[in-house]
């Protein structure tokens, strides 16, 4: 992993080709994200936003080309190595897939550290919960949370292992205007506080202005 | 956070199914453990009772009945052996020792056995209080007889004919002169006296005399002088018109086979229960996997490897089975101990729930293998699960 003074990009994509069911989705000659940059991936449904994010996260491999995250070529790792690498260096926030229901709020945060073998003090996890405004819900059952609260916990959990890259897939699409704005501001703030690069896939035009730049996929490109 | 904590959280959220599976396993284990406990203690007990007795010679009849009546004191005797036959056998060069026993009466359901002090020596029985009998109508009580009747040295009692509620021999009271130390064998449940005492009580019905003349006995407990006797002596005895020879080791094996058939049926039942439990675990884990597809996908995005998730699944199966195992072991030992406390027969037979049966330890690896076998199919499904497809469905 790069040091804090490292100017190498957090994400470097070269000659990338992604397709689904034989249909080309994404083609990028060269694309990179420096540390701390905030990028919106925009495009209509089916344009490949989720596929692209999953490729950056190493959840799937590119059909062609190279994806380098924090200096590591994802295709050159085994699946298990990619899993652990993702857990340690990439935070992922899903649209609706938030929390493990059988665990408490705090345990959901502990889980993120546990699965990659990190030891994180509860105090830091509580601090993370405080940063998303949920310090008093640490021991609550996740079943009792509203959709917006669950999304906040998911954001806090994405930051548990101090990732250099945070990916969010349509994090606000299921929220009303007020909550959508609040969640996005939260994502931008917590990523900026930690110097992490942020990539958010969205087709929500309300939010585009908050990003440093955007990458359009599909017809809007 | 730990894998165990994660698995426990999953088991807790499906508490009803978890309890059902643990109960199923527990019942299967309890049945198997009870069989192991009772079977092994029964075998030990039988072996203890026949130790030192190579051959039992009695009146013609069933050899098993002869052993049951004269070694285990559970059945009626086959008949009487004349003094002449006794003398013939005791003097035979193939016989190292032949201890006579004479049966016929009982008191409070405990058998009165006329014999010689050699029997106590042979069975390693010591006197805890008082002394050995020295004259007819003096008796030594087995430890359980003394405990249950409350009789002490100096007390008098009368026997009655047969094993239960026969004619009382009120005119021939016995006097307690000693109490034997507890042995954990049938001796604890016997009233021992001299042969002369038994002959004295039954004088009108036997050929016994009051003047030291030898009377009939019920059986002779024989120890061979040489291994060759094992071949020759039974044949020689069986050739005599009024006698039969029964080999305790052989008859005990027959007895255990008869009892063993019942135990086999129970063992099969226990096995069926465990098989049902295994299927129940398989179904529970398969359902759990379907319910947790989202969680599993989420954990993969958090960095969990397939290996970690499969370990979690196996651990869940192991937690279920070990809980069932613990419940089953507890049930089996506790219920046997309660049985021993409640039923005097169980106590008298020397059963105990506070010991480990020899094969019991093998239940642990067997159950773990069962858990892994039950988790195998869900684990393969989990390994083959397509993460991207699951995420696409959310």
Give the structural domain span for B171.
55-246
pLDDT-derived band at A221, boundaries 50, 70, 90: very low
Spans of all domains in chain A:
11-100+164-220
B389 occurs within a structural domain? yes
Query: By three-state DSSP, how is residue B199 classified?
Result: helix
Lowest mean pLDDT, pick from A18-22, B53-57, B202-206: B202-206
User: Does the pLDDT at position A97 exceed 90?
Assistant: no
The answer to whether the Cβ–Cβ distance between B295 and A88 falls below 8 Å is: no
Let me know whether B179 and B196 are in one domain.
yes
Find the DSSP H helices in A29-146.
Answer: 49-56, 79-89, 105-114, 122-131
Q: And the tokens for A41? A: 């991936």
Structure token pair of residue B132 = 């050995």
Contact across the interface for B302 and A59, Cβ inside 8 Å: no
CB contact under 8 A, B304 and A115: yes
Domain boundary among B201, B224, B246: B246
A76/A90 Cα distance (integer angstroms): 17
Phi, psi torsion values for B362, nearest 5 degrees: -75, -15
Residues of A in contact with B391 (CB under 8 A): 50, 54, 59, 94, 97
Question: Model confidence over B331-352: pLDDT tens digits?
Answer: 999 999 999 888 877 776 778 8
Do B209 and B337 belong together in one domain? no
| CA separation for the pair A189, A170 (Å, rounded) | 17
Distances from the Cα of B179 to the Cαs of A163, B154, B345, in angstroms?
82, 11, 21
Q: List helix spans (H) across B105-191.
A: 118-123, 143-149
Q: Domain tally for chain B?
A: 2
Within 8 A of A84 by CB-CB distance, chain B residues are 303, 305
What lies within 8 Å, CB to CB, of B131 at 6+ separation is B177, B178
Q: Do B42 and B65 have their domain in common?
A: no
pLDDT 10s digits, B58-111: 999 999 999 999 998 888 888 999 988 999 999 999 999 999 999 988 999 899
The tens digit of pLDDT for each residue in A66-88 reads: 999 999 999 999 999 999 999 99
Q: Determine contact, residues A160/A111, Cβ cutoff 8 Å.
A: no
Q: Do both B40 and B78 map to the same domain?
A: no
- pLDDT single digits (tens) B32-55: 898 889 888 888 888 888 888 999
pLDDT number for residue A1: 42
Whether A113 and B1 lie within 8 Å, measured CB to CB: yes
Predicted local confidence at residue B259, as pLDDT: 77
Mean pLDDT of chain A: 88
Q: Are residues B36 and B136 in the same domain?
A: no
* Sheet of strand A165-169, all strands in order from the earlier edge strand to the far edge: A90-93, A165-169, A197-202, A38-42, A213-216
Average pLDDT of A37-46? Answer: 90
What is the band of A220 on the pLDDT scale with cuts at 50, 70, 90?
A: very low
β-partners of residue B200 are none
Contact A60, B388 (CB under 8 A): yes
DSSP state of B182: P
In a domain, B254, yes or no: no
Looking at the fold, whether B118 and B231 belong to one and the same domain comes out as yes
pLDDT tens, position by position, B208-222: 444 456 788 999 999
Residue B253 lies in a domain: no
Question: Is residue A92 predicted with pLDDT exceeding 90?
Answer: yes
Residue B361 lies in a domain: yes
pLDDT band of residue A47 (cuts 50, 70, 90) is confident
Averaged confidence pLDDT in chain B = 87
Q: How close does chain B come to A221, measured CA to CA in Å?
A: 23
CB-based contact B35:B267 (threshold 8 Å): yes
Q: Is the pLDDT of residue A219 over 70?
A: no
Band of pLDDT at residue A163, cut at 50, 70 and 90: very high
pLDDT of B387 > 90? The answer is no
Query: What is the number of other CB atoms lying within 10 angstroms of the CB of residue B346?
Result: 18
Beta pairing partners, A28: A16
Q: Are B216 and B358 in the same domain?
A: no
Task: Verify that B101 and B22 share a domain, yes or no.
Answer: no
Contact B1 A114 (CB under 8 A): yes
Instruction: Report pLDDT for B209.
Output: 44
Does one domain contain both B208 and B86? Answer: yes
Looking at the domain assignment, is residue B310 inside a domain? Answer: yes
CATH code assigned to A11-100+164-220: 3.40.50.300
- Whether B251 maps to a domain, the answer reads no
Looking at the structure, tell me whether residues B230 and B291 fall in a common domain: no
Tell me what ipTM this predicted complex has.
0.87
Query: For testing the chain B interface, which of A54, A115, A173 should be mutated: the one with the most B CBs within 10 Å?
Result: A115
Residues B178 and B154 in one domain: yes
At residue B204 the predicted structure's pLDDT band, cuts being 50, 70 and 90, is low
Q: Considering only CB atoms, which chain A residues are within 8 Å of B306?
A: 79-80, 83
> Distance, in angstroms, between A115 CA and closest chain B CA?
5
Q: Tokens in use for B280?
A: 């129940």
B368-383 per-position pLDDT tens digit: 888 888 888 888 988 8
Last residue of a domain, one of B185, B211, B246: B246
Q: Do B98 and B216 belong together in one domain? A: yes
* CA B24, B28, B34, B37 torsion-angle sign: negative
User: Among residues B246, B271, B302, which one ends one of the domains?
Assistant: B246
């Amino acid at each position: 992993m790069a040091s804090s003074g490292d100017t190498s990009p957090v994400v470097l994509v070269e000659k990338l080709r992604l397709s689904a069911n034989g249909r080309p989705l994404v083609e990028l000659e060269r694309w990179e994200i420096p540390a701390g940059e905030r990028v919106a991936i925009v495009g209509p449904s089916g344009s490949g936003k989720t596929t692209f994010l999953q490729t950056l996260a190493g959840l799937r491999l590119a059909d062609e080309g190279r994806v380098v995250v924090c200096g590591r070529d994802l295709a050159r790792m085994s699946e298990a190595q990619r899993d652990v690498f993702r857990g340690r260096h990439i935070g992922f926030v899903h649209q609706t897939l938030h929390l493990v229901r059988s665990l408490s709020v705090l345990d959901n945060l502990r889980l993120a550290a546990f699965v990659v073998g990190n030891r994180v003090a509860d105090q830091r996890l509580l601090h993370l919960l405080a940063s998303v405004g949920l310090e008093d819900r640490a021991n609550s059952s996740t079943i009792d949370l509203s959709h917006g609260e669950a999304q906040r916990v998911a954001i806090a959990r994405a930051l548990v292992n101090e990732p250099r890259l945070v990916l969010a897939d349509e994090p606000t699409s299921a929220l009303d205007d007020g909550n959508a704005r609040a969640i996005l501001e939260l994502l931008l703030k917590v990523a900026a506080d930690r110097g992490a690069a942020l990539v958010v896939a969205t087709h929500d035009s309300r939010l585009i202005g908050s990003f440093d730049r955007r990458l359009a996929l599909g017809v809007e490109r | 956070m730990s894998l165990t904590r994660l698995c426990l959280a999953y088991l807790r959220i499906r508490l009803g199914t978890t309890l059902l599976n643990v109960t199923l396993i527990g019942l299967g284990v309890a049945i198997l453990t009870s069989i192991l406990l009772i079977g092994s203690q029964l075998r030990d007990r039988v072996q203890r009772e026949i130790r030192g007795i190579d051959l039992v010679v009695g009146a013609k009849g069933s050899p098993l009945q002869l052993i049951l009546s004269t070694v285990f004191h559970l059945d009626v005797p086959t008949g009487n052996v004349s003094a002449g036959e006794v003398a013939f056998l005791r003097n035979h060069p193939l016989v190292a020792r032949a201890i006579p026993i004479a049966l016929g009466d009982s008191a409070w359901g405990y058998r009165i056995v006329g014999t010689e002090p050699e029997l106590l020596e042979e069975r390693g029985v010591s006197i805890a209080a008082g002394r050995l009998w020295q004259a007819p109508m003096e008796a030594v009580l087995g430890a359980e007889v003394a405990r249950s009747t409350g009789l002490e040295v100096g007390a008098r009692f009368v026997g009655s004919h047969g094993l239960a509620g026969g004619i009382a021999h009120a005119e021939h009271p016995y006097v307690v002169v000693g109490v034997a130390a507890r042995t954990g064998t049938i001796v604890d449940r016997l009233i021992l006296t001299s042969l002369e005492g038994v002959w004295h009580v039954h004088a009108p019905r036997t050929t016994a005399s009051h003047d030291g003349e030898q009377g009939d006995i019920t059986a002779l407990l024989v120890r061979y002088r040489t291994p060759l006797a094992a071949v020759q002596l039974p044949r020689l005895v069986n050739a005599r018109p009024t006698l039969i020879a029964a080999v305790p080791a052989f008859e005990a094996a027959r007895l255990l086979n008869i009892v063993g058939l019942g135990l086999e049926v129970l063992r099969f039942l226990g096995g069926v229960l465990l098989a049902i439990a295994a299927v129940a675990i398989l179904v529970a884990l398969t359902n759990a996997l379907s319910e947790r597809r989202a969680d599993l996908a989420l954990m993969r995005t958090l960095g969990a490897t397939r290996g970690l998730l499969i370990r979690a699944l196996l651990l869940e199966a192991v937690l279920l089975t070990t809980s069932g195992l613990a419940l089953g072991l507890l049930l089996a030992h506790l219920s046997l101990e309660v049985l021993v406390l409640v039923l005097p027969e169980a106590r008298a037979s020397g059963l105990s729930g506070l010991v480990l049966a020899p094969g019991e330890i093998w239940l642990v690896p067997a159950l773990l293998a069962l858990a892994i076998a039950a988790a195998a199919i869900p684990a393969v499904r989990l390994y083959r699960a397509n993460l991207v497809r699951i995420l696409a469905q959310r």
